Structure 1
Amino acid sequence: MVESTQSISTDDVARHYDQLDRFYREIWGEHVHHGVWETGKESPEQAVRRLVDLVAERAQLTPGMEVLDVGCGYGGTSRILAREHGVHVIGLTVSPAQARYAESVTEPPGNPQYLLEDWMENQREPSHYDAMVAIESTEHMQDKVRVFTEAARVLKPGGRLVVCAWLSGGNLKPWEHRHLIEPVCREGRLPAMGTEGEYMGWMQNAGFEVTGALDVSEKVARTWPICAWRMLVGLVRKPGYLRFLLDPKNDNRIFALTMLRIWVAYRRGAMRYVVFSSVKKT
């Protein structure tokens, strides 16, 4: 596991998303996660939707299920799961800006339901939920062991857990650790980035049977050159972008550089992306 050299708190994560709220939505839309290019011909919107469909397939959703979306962002995935799969979704986020946006675009209100709640301090009922999904959110949590023990606590026996995770490559060169993965953690407000083996171990030790670990690293890497290009276009066309990046009060402005680090890290194999699926043992 690669750890950030800077301590990262939940408040730091919330401030990251609140400060970058405008940029995330303008550059990538309401789904703040990677896209999956199966053929390479998909539009970014189709690729982003493909990841949601992968998650839904592995969660094996059926109408009436109770589902948790941990780290729901702007609620894009939550709304698709509720609308198209007939499940009841509770989405958790630590970002007030994300929660406000999610509430504003959900019609009719009530499903999904959005809560401003830290997973590490969650108030969810034990053995209550049929499925839990976490798309690119576990990276923001310090205590990875607790991430999965809490998942086991709230899921019913036989409940399904689907986690999409940014991962560190297994054999990093010293310069990759120093100039790519550790800065990605620090600048992206990730306390630590685990490996595939560590994630599988954490799930198994928490009482899950791992049923799949789909490596889609090559299929998601295209996300970052698209984001970088859209950022450059924004700098030319929207004066507010440049003002934001030049304002020292915005300590998360460094993420403009982080996007380039992530792009290089994928090309080097120093960073990976895996969709994990597992079942809580009965």
Structure 2
Amino acid sequence: MSISFWVFTSLIVLLVFYLLAWGTQVRRYTSSSTVANAYDSWTNDRLLEQLWGEHVHLGYYPDLGRGIDFRLAKIDFVHHLVRWSGLDQLPPGSRVLDVGCGIGGSSRILSREYGFDVIGITISHAQVQRAKELTPKDLLCHFEVMDALDLKFDQSSFDGVWSVEAGPHMPDKQLYADEMLRVLRPGGVLAVADWNSRESVTGIRSGFERFVMSQLLNQWAHPDFATIHGFRQNLINSRFSGGFVDSEDWTKFTLPSWIDSILEGFRRPGAVLSLGPGALLKGLREIPTIVLMRWAFANGLMQFGVFRSRG
């Protein structure tokens, strides 16, 4: 076996001991406030923004990541999902909702490059404030604090609904699907991308797999992961479903993002060091979960699902 395999395996073992030594419930999900507090913290210290730019989500790598810039891969991801979902077939001026908008990176692309009138919502007050600061005044792009499971919009309010990597924070996946489809007009376009757990015929996982899953849930305030099939069924079973629902597994296209997200700290050391020692320690604190995420996606424990539907 290659040296890189043994190095990666040794790193996994060391990280397991690290997590066991430092505890496993720092960000365990207890309520929506757990999620809000986590994102407020990540936004206020500017660590993720300094390292990864305006997009916290994964990137799209069509050629296994060779020669692709990490930040450009994130932008490419937005365009690939827009085209795959059919959102690009909506005319300029269409009203689009971005559910779990972060600091507005995708919302700004949807508004600036596709001409959509975008409303981004997130449960984090800090993210909304930062999104507003980063958004030019001339863009049709606005942001509000709102719970995705209780959208304050009328039925059929939007021509398109967009949501990237927000689902794992939702304790009720059916309600998450229902609310997005409820506000989507008949014939409108839904585009969703999420981290999903593996389909299991037996439902049996090894001890190490159970440990990894507990970390992926508890370290980043996730109540649970849906499976690709499970969330597709949530969309199909919704009383607001228009009938058409499709899904794909984009794990191979997004997998390089995990290691790239760590390497950015070495490519841009000044981005971390300029924020002070606290940010450096916090950055190091995130590495074990990122490595375990990469292991889970590379070994089939997790999958990256994309979903498209019509209202």
What is the TM-score of this pair, normalised by structure 2? 0.80
SS of structure 1 residue aligned to 2:149: helix
2:151 counterpart residue number: 122
1:27 pairs with one of 22, 43, 51: 51
Residues 173-252 of structure 1 aligned to structure 2 (within 5 Å): 173-206=205-238, 207-231=241-265, 234=269, 238=273, 240=275, 242-244=277-279
Deviation of residue 223 (structure 1)?
0.8
1:272 counterpart residue number: 303
- Per mean C-alpha deviation after superposition, the further-off stretch among 71-80 and 105-114 is 105-114
* Identical counterparts, % of pairs: 29
**Could you give the per-residue CA deviations for residues 214-236 of structure 1, whole angstroms, max 9, x where no partner exists?**
21101111111111223467499
Structure 1 residues 175 and 229: CA distance shift in structure 2, 3 A: farther
Deviation of residue 167 (structure 1)?
0.5
Instruction: Confirm or deny that 1:101 pairs with 2:130.
Output: yes
Instruction: Confirm or deny that 1:55 pairs with 2:81.
Output: yes
SS of structure 2 residue aligned to 1:182: helix
Give the whole-Å Cα distance in 2 for the aligned partners of 1:177 and 1:267.
13
SS of structure 1 residue aligned to 2:179: helix
Letter of the aligned partner of 2:31 in structure 1? Answer: S
Q: Which runs of 5+ in 2 are unaligned?
A: 1-24
Deviation of residue 209 (structure 1)?
3.1
SS of structure 2 residue aligned to 1:149: helix
Instruction: Confirm or deny that 1:132 pairs with 2:156.
Output: no
- Per mean C-alpha deviation after superposition, the further-off stretch among 66-75 and 263-272 is 263-272
Give the whole-Å Cα distance in 2 for the aligned partners of 1:14 and 1:225.
26
Deviation of residue 275 (structure 1)?
1.2
1:36 pairs with one of 51, 55, 60: 60
2:38 pairs with one of 13, 16, 29: 16
| 8 Å contact kept, 2:125–2:145 | yes
Structure 1 residues 8 and 177: CA distance shift in structure 2, 3 A: farther
Instruction: Confirm or deny that 1:45 pairs with 2:71.
Output: yes
Give the whole-Å Cα distance in 1 for the aligned partners of 2:272 and 2:162.
37
SS of structure 2 residue aligned to 1:134: strand
Structure 1 residues 27 and 175: CA distance shift in structure 2, 3 A: farther
Structure 1 residues 100 and 13: CA distance shift in structure 2, 3 A: same
Deviation of residue 212 (structure 1)?
2.7
**Could you give the per-residue CA deviations for residues 232-261 of structure 1, whole angstroms, max 9, x where no partner exists?**
674996275643475xxx8x9853321111
Structure 1 residues 104 and 273: CA distance shift in structure 2, 3 A: same
Structure 1 residues 259 and 232: CA distance shift in structure 2, 3 A: farther
Q: Which runs of 5+ in 1 are unaligned?
A: none
- Per mean C-alpha deviation after superposition, the further-off stretch among 232-241 and 14-23 is 232-241
Of the two, which has the highest radius of gyration?
A: 2
Higher strand share: 1
RMSD over aligned Cα atoms: 2.4
SS of structure 2 residue aligned to 1:191: coil
SS of structure 2 residue aligned to 1:62: coil
Structure 1 residues 241 and 195: CA distance shift in structure 2, 3 A: farther
1:159 counterpart residue number: 188
| 8 Å contact kept, 1:176–1:270 | no
| 8 Å contact kept, 2:156–2:186 | yes
Structure 1 residues 31 and 7: CA distance shift in structure 2, 3 A: closer
Q: Give aligned pairs, total.
A: 273
| 8 Å contact kept, 2:123–2:145 | yes
